[in-house]
């Protein structure tokens, strides 16, 4: 058999079929896809000894049960055919997966319906320069499994390159895949030790979430903002330039030891404040201290004096005490 590249597919010349008991196997190109009663009818063009023939095929799946199945996507594509370069360009459309090479089984050599057994590697596709056990690329999503068992899915973006066919001279044009640099590189996967990571892989200020199985930690990073949770030490660490929290109802912190350090200032805004422990509250203690000071009687050589509450200016102290009681809370 001789393989011939005529458009975006691979054809076999001469006796292109493989004859088996009860049927034959052909190579062909996916030309169109329609839907019939919930089933995909894939129109495949094959080349026989009698010329080109189109047959409706069904796609084989790994599972065929009521609950277990594997569906294949419908990917729209358009190919411009240049009849006269720069003068007449005819848009030629294929509904799905244009140019994909497939292997078709025809049962009983009746060219009415066939079964797509699988796909073939297109001769114009360059091999991925990567070592490993498994590699697949579909519409910009690259899945790889290394020899050490690590698994990674990398997002490259939607391929914007289009296959073109120029009839003067007759030659297919297969541009390399084109992805937006700002979008490509995001990935998720498992390393060889079972840790999981998802990242946007940005060159500047990347974002990532990593579950370190061996180290027993979860690391979350967004640029210079980071948070680390350690399983063995039950430790939580956070770092950022600015941070804010908002809760509509309540917020409670319970610790054994608490320390707040501020190089500039600390501000607390609240309708009521309670500071203390047990039955001792700071603002209540200051209120009682004011009452005790007011009962003090100064000692004078000429004789006993009145308490401080009898002084003319004690009314100012009472006014300040009233303001203090407005914000005094309870533990």
Query: What is the tens place of the pLDDT at every residue in 239-289?
Result: 999 999 999 999 999 999 999 999 999 999 999 999 999 889 999 999 999
Which tens digit of pLDDT belongs to each residue from 194-243?
999 999 999 899 999 999 999 999 999 999 999 999 999 999 999 999 99
CB 159 within 8 A of CB 140: yes
- Banded model confidence at residue 16, pLDDT cuts 50, 70, 90: very low
Higher pLDDT, 274 or 37: 274
d(CA 204, CA 208): 12
Residue 30 contacts by C-beta under 8 Å, 6 or more apart in sequence?
A: 42, 43, 44, 94, 96, 97, 98, 99, 100, 102
CB 31 within 8 A of CB 111: no
Structural domain spans, the chain? 1-125, 205-242, 276-327
* Residue 96 Rama label (left phi>0; alpha psi -120 to 50; beta): beta
d(CA 80, CA 164): 6
d(CA 58, CA 72): 11
d(CA 208, CA 220): 6
Q: What is the pLDDT of residue 193?
A: 95
d(CA 6, CA 271): 81
Which tens digit of pLDDT belongs to each residue from 309-322?
888 899 999 999 99
| 9: its two tokens | 């597919």
Higher pLDDT, 252 or 73: 252
Higher pLDDT, 95 or 166: 166
Report whether pLDDT(14) > 50.
Answer: no
Q: Rounded to whole angstroms, what are the CA distances from 208 to 149, 164, 198? A: 21, 39, 6
Q: What is the pLDDT of residue 106?
A: 83
Q: Of 89, 122, 85, give the one whose Cα is nearest residue 7.
A: 122
Report whether pLDDT(175) > 50.
Answer: yes
Q: Of the spans 35-44, 127-136, 180-189, which averages the highest pLDDT?
A: 180-189
Q: What is the pLDDT of residue 95?
A: 37
Q: What is the pLDDT of residue 50?
A: 73
Helix (H, G, I), strand (E, B) or coil at 286: helix
- pTM for this entry: 0.65
């Amino acid at each position: 058999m001789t393989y011939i590249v005529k458009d975006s597919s691979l054809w076999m010349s001469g006796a292109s079929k493989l004859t088996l008991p009860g049927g034959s196997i052909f190579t062909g190109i996916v030309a169109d896809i329609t839907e019939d009663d919930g089933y995909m009818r894939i129109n495949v063009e094959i080349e026989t000894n009698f010329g080109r023939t189109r047959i409706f095929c069904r796609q084989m799946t790994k599972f065929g049960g009521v609950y277990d199945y594997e569906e294949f996507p419908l990917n729209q594509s358009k190919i411009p055919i240049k009849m006269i370069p720069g003068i007449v360009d005819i848009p030629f459309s294929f509904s799905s997966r244009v140019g994909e090479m497939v292997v078709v089984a025809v049962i009983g050599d009746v060219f009415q319906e066939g079964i797509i057994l699988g796909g073939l590697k297109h001769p114009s596709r360059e091999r991925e320069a990567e070592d490993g056990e498994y590699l697949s690329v579909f519409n910009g999503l690259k899945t790889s499994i290394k020899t050490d068992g690590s698994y990674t899915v990398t997002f490259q973006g939607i391929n914007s390159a289009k296959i073109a066919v120029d009839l003067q001279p007759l030659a297919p044009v297969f541009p390399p895949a084109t992805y937006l640099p700002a979008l490509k590189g995001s990935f998720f996967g498992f390393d060889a030790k079972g840790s999981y990571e998802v990242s946007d892989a940005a060159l500047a200020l990347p974002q990532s979430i990593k579950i370190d199985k061996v180290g027993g930690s979860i690391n979350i990073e967004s640029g210079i903002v980071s948070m680390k949770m350690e399983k063995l030490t039950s430790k939580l660490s956070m770092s950022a330039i600015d941070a804010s929290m908002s809760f509509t109802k309540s917020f409670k912190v319970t610790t054994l030891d608490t320390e707040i350090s501020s190089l500039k200032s600390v501000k607390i805004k609240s309708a009521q404040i309670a500071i203390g422990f047990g039955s001792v509250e700071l603002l209540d203690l200051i209120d009682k201290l004011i009452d005790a000071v007011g009962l003090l009687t100064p000692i004078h050589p000429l004789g006993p004096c009145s308490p401080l509450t009898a002084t003319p200016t004690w009314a100012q102290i009472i006014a300040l005490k009233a303001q203090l009681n407005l914000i005094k809370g309870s533990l």
